[in-house]
Homo-oligomer: A and B are copies of this chain.
């Protein structure tokens, strides 16, 4: 910067005290031991020079960093801004600031984010972007934890208690949404899943299949895979669904509302009436789903709350507060709106 920042020494010089004293005054520590006049002189000097403590120097002296890392896939899917909002607001309340990283679900970018965050010596990391759940990726997580930086996953997660995480019971939610579709009388359902099978997708799929098993094969179904970031295959998928010999009566877009809304949009453009020609259900609970026409039937997750609680949990881990539950499951609800209807009667 060419420009030299004002240092504590500058302040001390102007106030005619030692840096030690200046430091004590400015940090409000050992108040008793500093005379009022001295304190005032230091404060004045700092004010006059617009002194700003160098956080990096403080960190070097072993102070804990007040920044935490946040790793998300991108801001394209409106799920993430809302999640981020919950995280940053809570971080703010707790006195942390955020270092933000986008990975685009690319493992090498995720690796880079972890690297940078470790070099920064952040106090903790929240991850909403698990690229592919590979062994290699899991090792990344363990490395970070081993280095002493606590990690919390939100939305996506690893199976079991491996990494603390906050989410909803995705399998159960998916089961309930599917049950609803079955009760509505659907006889052939297309399920849309994310091509990269995160544990999350595995669970949603299992929830779906749980419900299907209960229906005793009265309902036919087929899985379609899409790439949620590039939207590749989406048009092809829609075509296949529409042109199936035995007609699909419903589309369960288990990979999320963002794609569900896109599907509704494309369907409408193609002159297909929803829910009359075909029903569409989503998963997420984006506010977008309420605004769109027809409004979207979906699993409503407390997205903001997921972020908020993830940050709360991370903070507890940072300050080593004892934690009874490392896996937090928040409540959700099934919202039946205009994009689905009962086919019976």
Is the beta-carbon distance between B1 and A149 smaller than 8 angstroms?
A: yes
**Residue on B with the closest CB to A4?**
B148
Knowing A52-B115, A75-B85, say if A64 contacts B1 (CB, 8 Å): yes
The verdict on A121 contacting B55 (CB below 8 Å), with A75-B81, A261-B291, A291-B261 known, is yes
Residues of B near A99 (CB, < 8 A) are 67, 97-100
Closest to A318 in B: B1
Contact digits for A79-115, partner B, Cβ 8 Å, 1 yes 0 no? 0111011001100100001111110000001000001
Provide the bound-state CA to CA distance between A232 and B30, in Å: 47
Mark each residue of chain A from 40 to 61: 1 if its CB lies under 8 Å from any CB of chain B, else 0: 0000000000101111110110
Q: Does A243 contact B (CB under 8 A)?
A: no
In angstroms, Cα B115 to Cα A3, docked, is 18
Chain B residue nearest to A88 in the complex (CB): B102
How many A residues, CB 8 Å from partner?
55
Interface string of A249-272 (1 = CB under 8 A from B): 000000000000110010010000
Kindly identify, within residues 61 to 76 of chain A, every residue whose CB is under 8 Å from any CB belonging to chain B.
64, 67, 70, 74-76
Q: How many copies does the complex hold?
A: 2
A97 CB contacts on chain B under 8 angstroms: 99-101, 116, 120
Which of B64, B119, B290 touches A53 (beta carbons < 8 Å)? B119
- Report the separation of the CA atoms of residues A138 and B81 in the bound assembly, to the nearest whole angstrom: 28
- Residues of chain B within 8 A of A76, CB atoms compared: 81, 85
A52 touches B100 (CB 8 A): no
CB <8 Å contact, B119 and A54: yes
Closest to A143 in B: B50
A123 partner residues in chain B, CB cutoff 8 A: 1
A117 to B, closest residue via Cβ: B97
Of chain B, the residue at the smallest CB distance from A109 is B92
Q: In the complex, A293→B296 CA distance in Å?
A: 13
Query: Which chain A residues numbered 270 to 296 have a C-beta less than 8 Å away from chain B?
Result: 288, 290-293
Task: Give 10 closest A-B pairs by Cβ, nearest first.
Answer: A3-B148, A75-B81, A81-B81, A56-B56, A1-B148, A293-B293, A75-B85, A56-B59, A100-B100, A98-B100
